[in-house]
Structure formats: C-alpha cells, structure tokens
C-alpha cells in the first residue's frame, strides 16, 4: 500500500507539472495566435524593404509591445531565415521546418502547436505565423516565437517557485493521509479476517499442531489454508461416518445370522424332544440334549465375544497397565488348553528363555490375546501336530510368538483375517464353534497397547503370529503416542 500510494503521489505530481505547462502553452498560443497577423497588417512590407535591418527591428518592437515574450523572424517562402533583430551569435538555425507553419496557417491545428526555435537546434516552441504577400505572390512569412529568451529566463527563475513547492507538499500530505486512512480501513477489514482465520485454524487442526501455522503468511492465505484444512477434515469425517455406518449395518446382519443358527439348532432339538419324547431312546435323548447344550455354549461365547469387542471398540474399556511376568502368563494360558491338546495329541513347545522378564501391559487383555491365538492354533492344526509358544527379549521390547504347523492361511485371506466375522471359506464347517471375532479382538487389544501384530503363513505348512509388548511404562507411553 505504501508503494502504491507513493507511486500515485509521484505520478500525480508529474502529471500536474506537465499538465500545467501544456495548459500554459495552449493558453499563450491561443491568445497570441494573431500576433504575427497584427504586425504584418500594421506595415506594408514591400519587397524592396523586406529584409532590411530597420524593418525587422521595427517589427520586433511592434511584436514585443503586444507581448514581451515574442521573438520575430522573417522567413523566405522556403523556410530559410531572411532576417531578425537578435544578436547573430544566438541564432543556431538557418532554416525552419515548414510543416508546422502550414498546419498553423490551415487553421485546423490544435494548440499547443510547436515549431522550430531558431535559437536552439533541438528545441521546439509555440509560435504565431503570418504570410507576407504582395498581390497574390507569397513573399515569405513573419514567424513569431512565443516564449523566447525572456520566457526561458522567467521559467528558470520560477523552477523553485513556491506554488510548485506547495503543490508538492499538498500531494505529500494527501499521500500520507490516504496512507493513514488506508491502514485504518485495511485494519478494520483484516482484523476480523485474521480472527476468523485463527478460529478456523483452531477448529480444523488437532491441538498438538496449533503452533505449526506460519505467522508470515497473509490473512487471506491463512483463511484459504484453514478452509481447505477444514474441508479436508469434514470430508474425512464424512467418510469415517459412512464407513462406520456400513460396518454397523454389516455387523448387525452378521450378528443376527450368527445368532440365528445356534438358536435354530437349540429350538429344533428341544421341539423334537418335546414331540417325540416317548419314542426316543435314552441315548438319543442324551445326544439331542448334548447338541442343544453345545449350541448354547456357542451362543454364549458369541455373545460374550461380541460384547467384549464392542467394549474394546467403543473405548469404554481401557487397558489397566501393570508390570507382570510374561513367562508366567504364557504357562498359565497354555495350562487352560491341556485337555484340547491331549485330545488332538498335539505337542506344545513353550520356550521362556528368562523366567523373570516382565512386560508393562494389561494382564487380562494380553491373556485374551494369547488364548485367542492358541485356540486358533489348536483348531487349525491336525492331529499329532506341533505348536510353539515362546518369547524373545530385545533391548526395547519382548516379542511373543505363537506358531503352529497346521493348515496355514490362504495367501488371499491374510489381509482380511483381522476383520470382524472374517473366516476362511471352510472354517464354519470345520469349526462350528468359531465366530470370526477372535483375531479382531486380538488386533483391537494390541491397538490399545500401541502394538502391532504380524502374521506369516503358508497354506499346509503352518502359521506364525508375533507381536511386541513394551517392557516398561516409558515404552508403553511412547508406543501409544506413536
Ligand atoms: N493358526 C491358524 N491357522 C490357520 N488359519 C488361521 C489361524 N488363525 C486364524 N486363522 C484363519 O483366520 C480366520 C479368522 O480367525 P478368528 O478371527 O480367530 O476367527 P475364528 O477362529 O472364530 O474363525 C479363521 O477363520 C481362519 O481361517
Ligand atoms: Mg479364533
């Protein structure tokens, strides 16, 4: 703004000066345009007298009486200077261009119209001119320069005129005043604008990033930046909303399907028992009841899994961190599976290199992780198979591994196994107890601990799950922050 107003000030000063000069010239020429004609009309310029020193001196005097800035020249018809009354050393030109003279005489030229000044080679001046005729014959021109020596001198004297100084000062004051007004107006405009930008910025960025904004960018750019951040965020949230809505609908349909199957089984068997009670053998009755009981158990597991997952996902269940021995937890969990292991004649190798290694996590939740992984391993490993459960300790974390040499996971299934209700195509038939929620729970629990789980598997060769656990409070916070 300072630049613009200063430039505008200088420009108006310049336009004012040039305009003043042009206006003065136009006015002078307009008022004196007939000066040459008056002079020629006063005197019969006879051919014989033309060019004599006395005549021209007299004409000059005549012209200067009318206007003291006039300088008189007698020109021949071709433009060469015939005579004048000025000191000869001051004259630098021998001829004067005829084009401006003819333009003047035609009466159509607009003023100021300049012609050559014989006293300067490179300067043109306003003038008045008149033809000198004898009968019909053109004898020459009376050429009067307006603004001769006298004018030049006067102009040099007023170069530092007080009018000029005052107008420069006035323009200076106008520039400063418009600057001040401009600054005030701009402030009034930009203050609410930057307040708005600030508000939008605070709204659209997480608290940790508030300080990141660069203070050097202007308000409009800040606003633009905050606006695009906000739209981006809104779009992201809309997407998340849609996604969670889709997941919710999917969950409801999955849940109702999964609940209906065991319920239908229970209902079917109970009905049969009631209707054919008399005709059933004791064994059949016991068999039906056992099946109904199995379905009940499946139903109850499904419900508790769902309940647990929804608690984990809603954030209402937060890990209860404590320091505990990982080796002990591994042994305790393995103990729970002794019956299943025995039934399938599976070998479980537990390797706990150090007994006193501790981790900092929620013991109940980590036990759930181990249970789910071990249950999967048991379910997907055929008779006489092998399962390995161990941990290794690095300086930063404890890495727990659950590996088996069972059926493995199809390469295409691997990206999806941690999703809710995801099961490989043959799982529901082979393992009717399974719900497809086990690994989703595992993943969610480890997420709450800030830990990642990795899976390596090849079909028919076996599967290996491994995850890191933090060893102390400091690492836990680090992982959670990361
Ligand atoms: N140890 C494993 N060996 C082979 N496949 C596995 C193993 N663990 C998980 N899977 C595959 O991942 C799917 C999802 O597992 P999970 O979420 O525990 O559900 P569920 O065990 O109830 O089917 C299983 O259906 C199975 O196909
Ligand atoms: Mg499972």
Print pLDDT tens along the chain (482 aa): 888 888 998 999 899 888 888 888 898 888 888 888 887 776 665 444 555 667 777 777 777 777 777 888 888 899 998 888 788 888 899 999 999 999 999 988 888 899 999 988 888 899 999 988 877 888 889 899 987 666 667 666 666 677 778 888 888 899 999 989 988 998 898 888 888 878 877 776 666 555 555 556 677 787 788 888 888 989 999 999 998 898 788 878 878 888 888 899 999 999 999 999 889 899 999 999 999 998 998 889 888 888 888 888 887 788 999 999 999 999 999 999 999 999 999 999 999 888 889 999 999 999 999 999 999 999 999 999 999 999 999 878 899 999 999 999 999 999 999 998 888 888 777 777 777 889 999 999 999 999 999 999 988 899 999 999 998 877 777 777 76
As a whole number of angstroms, the distance between CA 212 and CA 205 comes to 10
Whether 201 is covered by a domain: the verdict is no
Looking at ligand 1, which residue's alpha carbon is closest to its atom 5?
A: 409
The b/e string for 45-81 (b: 16+ C-beta within 10 A; e otherwise) is beeeebeeeebbebbbebbbeebebbbbbbbbeebeb
Domain co-membership, 339 together with 415: yes
Last residue of a domain, one of 317, 349, 378: 317
Helical ranges in 363-472 per DSSP H? 363-380, 427-430, 438-448
219 CB contacts (<8 Å, ≥6 apart)? 190, 193, 194, 197
388 and 299 belong to one structural domain:
no
Residue 253 lies in a domain: yes
Q: Are residues 326 and 303 in the same domain?
A: no
Dist. CA 28 → ligand 1 center (Å): 107
Same domain assignment for residues 339 and 475: yes
Q: Which of 264, 291, 317 is the last residue of a domain?
A: 317
Which structural domain, as residue segments, surrounds residue 44? Answer: 33-160
Residues within 5 Å of ion ligand 2 by Cβ?
A: 376, 438
DSSP secondary structure code for residue 125 in this structure: E
DSSP state of 422: -
Q: Is the CB of 298 under 6 A from ligand 1?
A: no
338 and 437 housed in the same domain = yes
CATH label of the domain that carries residue 55: 3.30.450.20
Q: Is the pTM of this model over 0.85?
A: no
Burial, 127: exposed, middle or buried (Cβ in 10 Å; 0-12, 13-18, 19+)? Answer: buried
Number of folded domains that form the chain: 3
Residue 445 lies in a domain: yes
- Residue ending a domain, among 137, 160, 183, is 160
How many residues are listed for the chain in this entry? 482
Q: Is residue 9 part of a domain?
A: no
Q: How many CB atoms lie within 10 A of CB 149?
A: 13
Closest ligand 1 atom to the C-alpha of 418?
17
Could you tell me if 449 and 470 are in contact, meaning their C-beta atoms sit under 8 angstroms apart?
Answer: yes
279 and 393 share a domain? no
| 152 found inside a domain | yes
- Residue 280 located in a structural domain: yes
Pocket lining: 463 vs ligand 1, CB cutoff 6 Å:
yes
Instruction: With beta carbons less than 8 A apart as the criterion, state whether 451 and 380 touch.
Output: no
- Separation of 433 CA from ligand 2 center, angstroms? 9
Which spans in 359-437 are helix H? 363-380, 427-430
Give the other-Cβ count within 10 Å of 379's Cβ.
18
Parallel, antiparallel or unpaired: strands 462-470 and 397-404 = antiparallel
Residue 350 domain-assigned?
yes
330 shares a domain with 304: no
Mutational pocket test of ligand 1: of 378, 380, 422, the residue with most ligand atoms within 8 Å of the beta carbon: 380
Complete DSSP assignment for 457-468: EETTTEEEEEEE
Burial of 300 (0-12, 13-18, 19+ CB in 10 A): exposed
d(CA 144, CA 140): 13
Count Cβ atoms below 10 Å from residue 398 Cβ, excluding itself: 21
- Do 263 and 322 lie in one domain? The reply is no
Same domain assignment for residues 289 and 371: no
Spatial distance between the Cα atoms of 381 and 154, rounded to a whole number of angstroms: 116
- Asked whether residue 5 is assigned to any structural domain, the reply reads no
């Amino acid at each position: 703004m300072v630049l613009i107003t200063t430039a505008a000030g200088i420009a108006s000063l310049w336009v004012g000066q040039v305009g003043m000069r042009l206006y003065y010239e136009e006015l002078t020429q307009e008022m004196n345009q007939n000066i040459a004609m008056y002079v020629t009309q006063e005197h019969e310029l006879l051919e014989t007298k033309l060019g004599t020193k006395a005549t021209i001196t007299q004409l000059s005097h005549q012209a200067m009486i009318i206007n003291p800035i006039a300088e008189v020249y007698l020109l021949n018809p071709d433009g060469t200077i015939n005579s004048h009354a000025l000191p000869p050393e001051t004259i630098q030109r021998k001829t004067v261009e005829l084009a401006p003279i003819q333009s003047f005489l035609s009466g159509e030229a607009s003023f100021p119209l300049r012609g050559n000044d014989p006293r300067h080679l490179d300067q043109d001046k306003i003038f008045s001119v008149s033809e000198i005729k004898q009968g019909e014959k053109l004898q020459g021109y009376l050429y009067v320069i307006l603004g001769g020596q006298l004018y030049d001198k006067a102009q040099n004297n007023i170069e530092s005129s007080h009018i000029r100084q005052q107008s420069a000062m006035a323009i200076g004051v106008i520039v400063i005043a418009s600057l001040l007004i401009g600054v005030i107006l701009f402030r009034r405009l930009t203050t609410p604008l930057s307040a708005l930008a600030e508000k939008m910025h605070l709204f659209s960025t997480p608290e940790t990033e508030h300080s990141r904004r660069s203070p050097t960018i202007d308000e409009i750019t800040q606003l633009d930046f905050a606006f695009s951040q906000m739209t981006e965020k809104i779009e992201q949230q809309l997407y998340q909303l849609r996604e969670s809505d889709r997941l919710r609908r999917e969950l409801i349909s999955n849940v109702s399907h999964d609940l209906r199957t065991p319920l239908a089984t229970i209902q079917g068997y109970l009905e049969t028992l009631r209707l054919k009670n008399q005709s059933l053998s004791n064994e059949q009755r016991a068999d039906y009841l056992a099946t109904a009981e199995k379905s009940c158990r499946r139903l109850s597991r499904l419900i508790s899994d769902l309940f647990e997952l929804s608690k984990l996902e809603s954030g209402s269940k937060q890990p209860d961190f404590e320091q505990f021995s990982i080796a002990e937890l591994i042994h305790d969990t393995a103990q729970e599976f002794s019956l299943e292991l025995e039934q399938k004649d599976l070998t479980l190798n537990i390797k706990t290199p150090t007994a006193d290694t501790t981790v900092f996590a929620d013991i109940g939740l980590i036990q759930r992780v181990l249970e789910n992984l071990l249950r999967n391993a048991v379910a997907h490993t055929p008779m006489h198979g092998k399962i390995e459960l161990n941990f290794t300790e690095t300086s930063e974390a404890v890495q727990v591994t659950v590996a088996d040499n069972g059926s493995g996971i199809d390469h295409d299934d691997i990206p999806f196994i941690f999703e809710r209700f995801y099961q490989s195509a043959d799982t529901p038939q082979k393992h009717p107890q399974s719900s497809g929620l086990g690994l989703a729970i595992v993943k969610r629990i480890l997420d709450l601990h800030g830990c990642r789980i990795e899976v390596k598997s090849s079909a028919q060769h076996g599967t290996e799950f491994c995850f890191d656990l933090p060893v102390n409070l400091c690492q836990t916070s680090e992982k959670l922050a990361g």
